[in-house]
A and B are shown apart, each in its own frame.
Chain A
Amino acid sequence: KAGVTQTPRYLIKTRGQQVTLSCSPISGHRSVSWYQQTPGQGLQFLFEYFSETQRNKGNFPGRFSGRQFSNSRSEMNVSTLELGDSALYLCASSFDREIGNEQFFGPGTRLTVL
C-alpha cells in the first residue's frame, strides 16, 4: 500500500509569509504527527492529531498550527515565517495512538525561508 505522502516536497518562502504543508497518511491510519528537523535542534515534535482533534503539542510558538480532516489527511500552517523556520518538516502516521503501532514517516517537505 502507498506510504505517507507529503506535498509539496520543496518550498521557498520569504520572511513574513505564511505556508501550508499537507500530509496524506497511509490508508486506514488515523493518527498523524508532525515534526520539525533542523541541523541545530534535530528532530522536534510539533503536534499530533487523531480523529480531527489535537492530542499532543510540542513546545512551539502559536505561529505553528495544524488540523486534521475527516479523511485523516492533515495540514500544518506556519504564519509570519522567520528565517529559523527553515527546516525539513516531517509527517508520520500510525493506525492509532496505542503503543506497538509504529509510526511511518513521509519523505518530508523542505522549507527554505529567505
Chain B
Amino acid sequence: DAKTTQPPSMDCAEGRAANLPCNHSTISGNEYVYWYRQIHSQGPQYIIHGLKNNETNEMASLIITEDRKSSTLILPHATLRDTAVYYCIVRPLYNQGGKLIFGQGTELSVKP
C-alpha cells in the first residue's frame, strides 16, 4: 500500500503557484520523497525528489517539513500544460530498485 496521502483534486489559476501537499507521516529515515506526474494518456514523468532538505529544479520545488512527515510540491507559475495527476511517492533508499508504489495522486486542473 502507498504510504502517502494526497487530496484527490485541486484547481489552480494559470500563472499562479500550484502548491500540492502530501502527507507521509510514517516515513522512515532512509526513505526519500519522490514526485511524478502523469498527463492524460501519457506515461508518468519524474519531477523531483528529496530526503530532508528542500530541493529545486527547472520544473518545481519540493519543500519537506522538518519532521519529514509531510511535503509540498510547488509549481511556481502553473500553465495549462501542468494539468495532470501528481503522485507523491515514498521510496526506500535500499533494495527497491525500480519499484515505485503509487497512490491515487492529486488531479491538478490549471484553469485560464
A binds B: yes
Q: List A residues at the B interface (Cβ < 8 Å).
A: 4, 31-33, 35, 42-45, 48, 50, 55-56, 58, 90, 92, 94, 97, 99-100, 102-108
CA distance A92 to B44 in the complex (A): 9
Contacts of A56 in B (CB 8 A): 96-99
Tell whether, in the assembled complex, residue A48 and residue B99 are in contact, meaning their CB atoms are under 8 Å apart. yes
Partner of B98, one of A31, A43, A106: A31
List 15 A–B pairs whose Cβ atoms lie within 8 Å, in order of A's numbering.
Answer: A31-B98, A33-B98, A33-B100, A42-B104, A43-B38, A43-B102, A45-B100, A48-B99, A56-B98, A92-B44, A97-B97, A99-B32, A103-B98, A104-B46, A105-B43
Contacts of A31 in B (CB 8 A): 97-98
- A50 smallest CB distance to B (angstroms): 7
Binary A-proximity of B25-42 (CB < 8 A = 1, otherwise 0) = 000000010100010001
Contacts of B46 in A (CB 8 A): 102-104
B93 part of interface (Cβ distance < 8 Å): yes
Tell whether, in the assembled complex, residue B43 and residue A48 are in contact, meaning their CB atoms are under 8 Å apart. no
Closest B residue to A97 by CB, please name it.
B97
Tell whether, in the assembled complex, residue A99 and residue B43 are in contact, meaning their CB atoms are under 8 Å apart. no
CA distance A33 to B46 in the complex (A): 14
- A33 smallest CB distance to B (angstroms): 4
